[in-house]
Structure 1
């Protein structure tokens, strides 16, 4: 398996990325969003946008090739 670093695309599924972000600081995320499901909904709605702090344009991903 090879991996490359690439700009995130709106087509990438937001769920796994939201889950990874949640695990980085669970107490903060719980304070801000209450539940993981609420965070996932917020993240998923912002992911395809071209502006914003959690949109795909602000992310770089490790992608299998």
Structure 2
């Protein structure tokens, strides 16, 4: 799964593995690498209120 995630990241901006322990499943802005969504087990914290990165106003195309 980890190798598949790395391959997918070459082609997709928002790749994460869900329900996998000890793996970084956060979502970052593809432009500035700012943390947008943090995931840990069943816990999710969203750091954006709209489809824009708050750091550089980059459109991130995430369905909230």
Structure with more of its chain in helix, by fraction: 1
TM over 0.5: no
What is the TM-score with the length of structure 1 in the denominator?
0.23
What is the TM-score with the length of structure 2 in the denominator?
0.23
